[in-house]
Structure 1
Amino acid sequence: MLFVLCGAIFLEGIDVAMLNVALPSIRADLDLSTGMLSGVVSAYVLGYGGFMLLGGRAADLLGRRRMFLFWLTVFLLFSGLGGFATEGWMLLVARFVTGVAAAFMTPAGLSIITTGFAEGPQRNKALLVYAGTASAGFSLGLVIGGVLSSIDWRWVFFAPVILSAVILVLAVPLIPKDRPEHSGHGFDMAGAITVTGAMLLLAYAVVRLEHPAEGLGWTLGAFGAALAFLAAFISVERRSAEPLVRLGILRSGPLARANLGAMLFAGSFFGFQFLATLYLQELRGWTTLQTGLALLAIGIDAVLAPTLTPRLMERFGNVRVIFGGLVIAVVAYALFLPVGLDWTYAAMFPTMILLGLAFALVYGPLTIAATDGIAEREQGLAGGLLNTAFQFGAALGLSAVTAVNVAALGAGRSPGARLDAFQAALIVPVAAVVLAAIVTAFGLRRAGTPGSVPADPAKAGVEPAATGARP
């Protein structure tokens, strides 16, 4: 079962990474404008970010196995549609629906793990293997995407079809059946509509931050509408007899810190990865394959997460390991700040390997922290919240570094001016991960002995209903 679910999260990571490196080839073949090309990336973000919270709760209410299998099938079909695209709009539709499929599939898979393994060392080890596989998918996807793009960019869409078909065949007998919390009668439709509208509008507004000159009014309007939908959602949930999201879960201090830390950490990493790609390809003239190989060292997380991290967690505790990983990430980004036009890869390597170590110490333990002590019937919701935080963090990080880079560059186009703008934008990942470390530090005072859980759920910020006992 774990093998199948790790395959699914590997599929998601490799799918995103391969598309990122294939964009220039897609633009050249289909003659897409810059706006349309950006839309291909944004469409996935909209689908993923917009439906993630609903997807997490749907896994709890309608069945984790059912949601996982159904949306894995949708992922397969629409990834194939992208490979047959002859127009930009076909790619937009394919990527949006693929993002929606991932939004339902990912929290379902995560909650199958958290409910299928006993809370404690067994679940922690499974989650660390899962997190390492996700990182490996993204890292290897950069390399594989470069290879496939050099053959034909359409294979970037067809390869996930083959992989998802294999996973689907294995998942049918291996994923255990579960009893849905809800049959669908009396489903909180008003809550589903308002929260999805809020997430879609928020994702759209975040994406538009990358282009501040293209209608600031629309961006602010989208943020305002998102807040209005969010306020309506909270009002609906307070009155609903069967709320889509039990608002009390948001009062959990560890869960809130884990999600905020995840958002900031994801923003720092994806912002850095975007800048590093621009530096290597546009300033240094490296190929997509060379760039992917340069970033491959970060994938050491796939080895360290299931081997080193469990030992450190057992000795120092979850929160201290996360904090240590964030401090290492600060050092990694800071080492890259003085980057020059003539840097060798040996000078870049310490940043890459330290980021791999930081990922091993942060990503998996954050997943554990965000789902620890949460009732089985709300594990999908907890997974949805965490993945929403990661997704919006990544979008915010990309938007922030893009905005700073464009503002610092101005009218300059010389290599020196572009390097200065690149270095200015590098401050964003450093600042984001410093904030993540500060947020995590607040949990250090409350952290008990390594591997312990609070005896009183209320003191941990979790209502009694979230400890596993049904009201």
Structure 2
Amino acid sequence: MATTTPPTRPETPLVPEPAPAPVPDRASGPVPDRASSAITGRARLILLVLCAAQFMVALDFSVLNVALPVLGADLGMSPAALQWAVTAFALPSGGFLLLSGRIGDLYGRRKLFLIGLALFGAASLLATFAWDPASFLAGRALQGLGAAMIVPTGMSLLTTTFPEGPQRDRALGISGTLLSLGFTIGMILGGVMTDTLGWRSTMGLLALFTLIVLPLAPGLLPESRTPERPRLDVPGAVTVTGGLLSLIYALSTAAERGFGGTDVQVSLVAGVVLLVAFGVVESRSAAPLVSLPMLRRGTVAFGNLGGLVTFSMMSTVIFVLTLYLQETLGLSSFATGLVFGIQGVVSVFAGTVAPKVIGRFGAGRTLVIGLAGQGLLTAALLGIGTGSGAVLAAVAVSLASICHLGAIVAYGVTVTSGVPDAEQGLATGLVTTTQQVGLTVGIPMLGVLATTGDSLYGGVRTVLALDAAIVLVTAAVIALGLRRARRERARA
């Protein structure tokens, strides 16, 4: 396994060595390339396996959405119950991420990654051959639990396999591209497969992916864990998992029924209380699940803020544009899929460019640039009309996806830069938790505004305006926060 080591300076035996200068912070500014970004041989195969698994999980987020009405009719699920097809996956996949990342740190990331893959594949088969709503929802929940194991351990294996610098930047760029591409392709494949092969084929596709990836993984992936094995922080695990489960349930349910339900309100309060309790527990734990000093690092705090906003706001844009294109302009599901298919193609380009931009400007500045671009292009979507707007939507959302991909890669680099290998599972657990929560909260917070007003068109424009404002304000906050963090490090 390749480990991250600080770059060495050339030896100067005839001249006394001066006091070491501060190590440049890649999260805040550019540093000279010290290694080739080329990924060759076994490392390329490792990256292929890890990215294939991430792509598979991203595909699962969207491939079923278009199939829900057909699925409900086949299994006898009411329209109100269909939200559980999504929520049953989102709850465990988001709620158990931090715990899974830490278990991988302590007991073996490769081991937990393989367990997660096997569980995900078995659960996909269960969902494929489900005979009633209960068996289907059980399969979805187990898929979510498998995803909660795959995502943080896969990201940890990536960051510990590829040393910090150009190689890791490129690996994260490829991973981020496939993550976005998987979500977009899922939207297109879901409609095509449901119309031609039936909704069960969407779940069967995920099982097939697992059967391809799982046999390759054991012989390729290196095992990695922390050198010491402190006791697992059980109180921290209980409070953070319970808090995330409550929060994700409340927001997922609110997307369908609004925030007026008693269960939604109770879950929101319980989620906040449990997450506050988690902070108290971690401040007193000898072996915390989350290192509070890590959370106080400017790069970790502001990097995760950027990740949360870029994921949540972009998923909201895609949601409301889907409604607009089909309900206002009358486009078919296939034509709507093509609009977002263009976005997917552009994402491939963005993923290759993002590491080069990071190398030039630094991850922190790239994150700010990406967010600012995403916000401005979201604002440009306010030019859509009731009779036309498909071309503007296709162009603006595709260009916004370039900025979005840049922000995704940059926030991953920002959060994990300078973190020891022993804590990479923790850092990447935060990265992936931010990703999952971001994908979950955007639509409930803003998306429902598009359908609750008198006019869908007016609601969509309101959501786009709020979305753009949130992204642009966040970009400014992160720019100021990272600048202050650099000044504090300079004074230290």
Give the TM-score of the pair, scaled to structure 1. Answer: 0.89
Contact 2:306 2:407 in 1 (8 A): no
Among candidates 248, 252, 255, match of residue 210 of structure 1: 255
**Superposition RMSD in Å:** 2.3
Question: CA, structure 1 residues 220+298, in 2 after alignment: closer, same or farther (shift >3 Å)?
Answer: same
Letter in 1 for 2:469: A
Counterpart residue number, 2:13: none
The reply on whether 1:174 has 2:212 as its aligned counterpart is no
Question: CA, structure 1 residues 145+311, in 2 after alignment: closer, same or farther (shift >3 Å)?
Answer: same
Structure 2 Cα separation of the partners of residues 360 and 231 of structure 1: 32
Gapped regions of structure 1 (runs ≥ 5): 410-416, 449-453, 460-471
Give the TM-score of the pair, scaled to structure 2. Answer: 0.85
Counterpart residue number, 1:198: 243
Letter in 1 for 2:63: M
Contact 1:300 1:357 in 2 (8 A): no
Structure 2 Cα separation of the partners of residues 179 and 280 of structure 1: 48
Contact 2:346 2:398 in 1 (8 A): no
Question: CA, structure 1 residues 6+458, in 2 after alignment: closer, same or farther (shift >3 Å)?
Answer: farther
Structure 2 Cα separation of the partners of residues 263 and 214 of structure 1: 21
Structure 2 Cα separation of the partners of residues 228 and 287 of structure 1: 44
* Superimposed CA distance per residue, residues 263-314 of structure 1 (whole angstroms, 9 cap, x where no aligned partner): 1111111111111111222333333322221111222454324432222222
Contact 1:71 1:104 in 2 (8 A): yes
Contact 1:397 1:429 in 2 (8 A): no
- Deviation at residue 211 of structure 1 after TM alignment: 4.8
Among candidates 152, 160, 171, match of residue 206 of structure 2: 160
Structure 1 Cα separation of the partners of residues 252 and 62 of structure 2: 18
Structure 2 Cα separation of the partners of residues 214 and 240 of structure 1: 35
Contact 1:143 1:293 in 2 (8 A): yes
Among candidates 428, 441, 444, match of residue 396 of structure 1: 441
Trace 1:49-60 onto structure 2 (pairs within 5 A). Answer: 49-60=94-105
Counterpart residue number, 1:69: 114
Contact 1:64 1:180 in 2 (8 A): no
Counterpart residue number, 2:25: none
Structure 1 Cα separation of the partners of residues 491 and 192 of structure 2: 52
Counterpart residue number, 1:269: 314
- Deviation at residue 65 of structure 1 after TM alignment: 0.1
Contact 1:297 1:352 in 2 (8 A): no
Among candidates 262, 269, 274, match of residue 229 of structure 1: 274
Counterpart residue number, 2:40: none
Counterpart residue number, 1:413: none
Contact 2:233 2:287 in 1 (8 A): yes
- Deviation at residue 443 of structure 1 after TM alignment: 4.3
- Deviation at residue 321 of structure 1 after TM alignment: 1.7
SS in 2 for 1:210: helix
* Superimposed CA distance per residue, residues 328-354 of structure 1 (whole angstroms, 9 cap, x where no aligned partner): 212221121132232153232221221
Contact 1:136 1:301 in 2 (8 A): no
Trace 1:372-411 onto structure 2 (pairs within 5 A). Answer: 372-409=417-454
* Superimposed CA distance per residue, residues 86-122 of structure 1 (whole angstroms, 9 cap, x where no aligned partner): 3222222222221121112101000101111111111
Structure 1 Cα separation of the partners of residues 278 and 392 of structure 2: 50
* Superimposed CA distance per residue, residues 126-180 of structure 1 (whole angstroms, 9 cap, x where no aligned partner): 1111111111111222222221111211000000111111111111111112245
Contact 1:48 1:99 in 2 (8 A): yes
Letter in 2 for 1:292: G
Structure 1 Cα separation of the partners of residues 314 and 120 of structure 2: 26
Work out the percentage of aligned pairs sharing the same amino acid. Answer: 35
Gapped regions of structure 2 (runs ≥ 5): 1-45
Question: CA, structure 1 residues 320+35, in 2 after alignment: closer, same or farther (shift >3 Å)?
Answer: same
Q: Say which is worse superposed, 399-408 or 256-265, in terms of deviation.
A: 399-408
Among candidates 478, 486, 491, match of residue 440 of structure 1: 478
Count residues in correspondence. 446
The reply on whether 1:116 has 2:174 as its aligned counterpart is no
Counterpart residue number, 2:4: none
Question: CA, structure 1 residues 204+115, in 2 after alignment: closer, same or farther (shift >3 Å)?
Answer: same
Counterpart residue number, 1:132: 177
Counterpart residue number, 2:456: 418
Contact 1:201 1:223 in 2 (8 A): yes
- Deviation at residue 70 of structure 1 after TM alignment: 0.3
The reply on whether 1:361 has 2:406 as its aligned counterpart is yes
Structure 1 Cα separation of the partners of residues 378 and 112 of structure 2: 38
The reply on whether 1:251 has 2:296 as its aligned counterpart is yes
Letter in 1 for 2:210: S
Structure 2 Cα separation of the partners of residues 231 and 249 of structure 1: 17
- Deviation at residue 181 of structure 1 after TM alignment: 4.5
The reply on whether 1:317 has 2:362 as its aligned counterpart is yes
Structure 2 Cα separation of the partners of residues 157 and 240 of structure 1: 41
Structure 1 Cα separation of the partners of residues 134 and 413 of structure 2: 39
Q: Say which is worse superposed, 437-446 or 48-57, in terms of deviation.
A: 437-446
SS in 2 for 1:445: helix
Structure 2 Cα separation of the partners of residues 337 and 86 of structure 1: 45
Letter in 2 for 1:154: R
Among candidates 68, 71, 74, match of residue 23 of structure 1: 68
Structure 2 Cα separation of the partners of residues 358 and 15 of structure 1: 24
Q: Say which is worse superposed, 418-427 or 46-55, in terms of deviation.
A: 418-427
Trace 1:445-456 onto structure 2 (pairs within 5 A). Answer: 445=483
Question: CA, structure 1 residues 328+239, in 2 after alignment: closer, same or farther (shift >3 Å)?
Answer: closer
Contact 1:136 1:302 in 2 (8 A): yes
- Deviation at residue 77 of structure 1 after TM alignment: 0.7
Structure 2 Cα separation of the partners of residues 188 and 349 of structure 1: 47
